[in-house]
Structure 1
Amino acid sequence: MQNWVYVVLAILTVYILISVLLFFFQDFFLFKPEKLNKDFQFHYENQETEEYNVETRDGAIINGLHFKAKDPKGVVFYLKGNSKSIKGWGKFAVDFTRHGYDVIMVDYRGFGKSTGRRTQKAVKRDMQVIYNKIKKKVSEKYIILYGRSLGSGFAAKLASMNEPRMLILDAPYYSLSKVAKKYIPFMPLSLLIKFPMPTYKWLKYVKCPIHILHGTDDRLIPYKTSVKLSKINPKRTKLYTIIGGGHKDLNTFESYHSMLGDIINSRPRKVNLEGSSIDVKHTSKPINA
């Protein structure tokens, strides 16, 4: 057997080995959960909270927190990113409670006190269960879906299947397959990845207003991703740019809080285009004197 055949076989063997490892261990790359003891006590200064547990049909427990505002205008269902637990993410609830909105946060399976085997289908089903419980107490016209990074995909999926007041996406991805391909472009990710999370597909079916917030200096999920997403359902979408914002620090920018306040406190209104330049036709032909 010629030497080139051995080289090809060696490369093929390594490629298959990497594919197998990627398939079985991708959870360790995609998710960075923080586990909490069952008796852990959540505490946030100047925040009224209530802890709850929801049992799913397959026996998993989804642990969550309800941050309460005085005389709430509505409720924000906040779907967090891929790391830590709601122990740390809970500090962001104040960005909504200060505007008079209750906040619901949950830990995905395997995060915090939540249990159960984590799959894309299972997490999507869990989030719908939580959403159903919210809308039993609050009309959907008062529900805001907020998806942060990983949570943006789940939030987009929920919005595509329900009728919330609005959908807010914070540093969203086009799909997790696209994000992964950026780092391992030579792998057949469409066959290997268990969490493809095609946000772009779900956005097509969203019928409520869509607000996208993204920083120009985001190195994990580039700003151009949100530009691309904003074109999928353009009549319902507004893109908000945080100049200099990265992936994890948007809350440190005054512009983020200004934009967020404007978004959640806004009321839908029809734009009057009568008398505007929207139908003005431009021509390069000379006008006859």
Structure 2
Amino acid sequence: MQNWIFVLLIILAVYVVFSVLLYVFQDYFLFKPEKLPSDFAFHYKNQEIEEYNVETRDGAVINGLRFKAKNPKGVVFYLKGNSKSIRGWGKFAVDFTRHGYDVIMVDYRGFGKSTGRRTQKAVKRDMQVIYNKIKEKVSEKYIILYGRSLGSGFATKLASMNNPRMLILDAPYYSLSKVAKKFIPFMPLSLLIKFPMPTYKWLKYVNCPIHIIHGTDDRLIPYKTSVRLSKIKPENTKLYTVIGGGHKDLHTFESYHRMLSEIVNSRPNKVNLEGSSIDVVHSSKAANAKV
């Protein structure tokens, strides 16, 4: 009996130690930042850029880039994924500048040239500060929020608190807690995770058009995640499926670019359902037999 108690105590001790390590070091699992020297010079072929720094109220500095389009018809605030810095992510700005949109990209705290202690609350606050800066120059009806993977949660939160023209989510997650539970199902993540990022909760309060793009072969964040998210505000949401697309390669599919072009160049139109089959009820076989 004493041996069983001893074994259980060892298991409990290992579980507690693992929980503490997970809590302390989870940033290293969730984020893979690339840090850049303060004098690093950004350069992109055939792209005109402007670099800026925004100081936050707690003394952090958020570094970002503006990719300029000729005669811009709006601004895309692009919230990137959890790795690298905008040095690498900047190459995707062309997918919007070619359609006539300026693109704003920023590095989260601890990424690139950005500084400051990274917490979910701090990053949400930082993104709102940047959004407010954009609003000073551009009316919200010309602002598009684009969230890629990790950035999809922050983009959704911004859309829930503001009134952008539209929200585009690329490979979004239901919540980061759900993603983490897939890999460590035996841990009490609701207590341990510092970045729960409940996209599904924030999406309920988004009133602008919502466009979700997801690949069917995404092994990190399954396609079914976007199906679930699309059901939260179905009246405002359109789901775009990239057949065969994974988590990091959607930009290599021609269908993705067709979808993106359709989204950013579209205008919301109210559909006239008068005379349509929307209220038609199928008769049962028995009813048809009587007729």
Same fold? TM cut 0.5: yes
Superposition TM-score, scaled by structure 1 size = 0.99
Q: What CA distance in whole angstroms lies between the structure 2 residues aligned with 1:164 and 1:135?
A: 10
Aligned to 1:119: 119
Return the alpha-carbon distance in structure 2 between the equivalents of residues 247 and 288 of structure 1: 53
Aligned length: 289
Measured in 2, the distance between the counterparts of 1:203 and 1:146 equals 14
Amino acid at match of 1:249: D
Match status 1:22 vs 2:50: no
Cross-structure match for 2:195: 195
Partner SS, residue 267 of structure 1: coil
**Residues 1:92 and 2:110 aligned together:** no
**2:214 aligns to what SS in structure 1?**
strand
Task: Determine what percentage of the aligned residue pairs are the same residue.
Answer: 85
Distance in 2, matches of 1:265 and 1:124, equals: 28
Distance 1:286 1:189 in 2: 54
How many angstroms does 1:29 deviate by?
0.1
Amino acid at match of 2:203: L
* Alignment partners' CA distance in 2, 1:273 and 1:151: 36
**Where do 4+ consecutive residues of structure 1 move more than 3 Å?**
none
Secondary structure of residue in 2 paired with 1:130: helix
1:44 corresponds to: 44
**1:63 alignment partner in structure 2:** 63
> What TM-score does the superposition give when structure 2 sets the normalisation length?
0.98
Letter in 2 for 1:54: V
* SS in structure 2 at match of 1:234: coil
| Cα separation, 1, equivalents of 2:225 and 2:158 | 20
> 1:277-288 maps to which residues of 2 (within 5 A)?
277-284=277-284, 285-286=287-288, 288=290
Cα distance per residue 1:255-282 (max 9 Å; x no partner): 0000000000000111111111110011
- CA deviation string 1:44-85 (max 9, x = no partner): 010000000000000000000000000001000000000000
Instruction: Give the match for residue 204 of structure 2.
Output: 204
Q: Deviations over 1:223-269 (max 9, x none)?
A: 00000000011100000000000000000000000000000000011
Corresponding residue number in structure 1 for 2:246: 246
Separation (CA, whole Å) in 2 of partners of 1:22 and 1:75: 38
Aligned to 1:155: 155
Residue type of the alignment partner of 1:253: F
Question: Which 5+ residue runs of structure 2 have no aligned equivalent?
Answer: none
- Which amino acid in structure 2 is aligned with residue 16 of structure 1? V
Structure 1 equivalent of residue 263 of structure 2 = 263
Cα separation, 1, equivalents of 2:121 and 2:290: 65
Name the residue aligned to 1:34: 34
Tell me the CA shift for residue 2 of structure 1: 1.1
Cα deviation for residue 288 of structure 1 reads 4.2
- Counterpart CA distance in 1 for 2:156 and 2:34 is 24
The answer to whether the aligner puts 1:224 opposite 2:234 as a matched pair is no
Gaps of 5+ in 1: none
Q: Structure 1, residues 169-209: CA drift from partner, whole Å, max 9, x if none?
A: 00000000000000000000000000000000000000000
- Spell out, residue by residue over 1:126-176, the C-alpha distance to the aligned partner (whole angstroms, 9 max, x if none): 000000000110000000000000000000000000000000000000000
1:105-143 per-position Cα deviation (integer Å, ceiling 9, x unaligned): 000000000000000000000000000000110000000
- 1:108 aligns to what SS in structure 2? coil
Instruction: Give the Cα separation in 2 of the matches to 1:286 and 1:251.
Output: 50
Q: Is 2:177 the counterpart of 1:177?
A: yes
Q: CA deviation at 1:286?
A: 2.7
CA RMSD in angstroms comes to 0.7
| Paired position in structure 1 for 2:107 | 107
Q: Which amino acid aligns with 2:124?
A: K
1:287 CA displacement: 5.4
User: What SS does the corresponding residue of 2:27 show, helix, strand or coil?
Assistant: helix
Q: Work out the CA distance in 2 between the residues paired with 1:64 and 1:175.
A: 26
Matched, 1:164 2:169: no
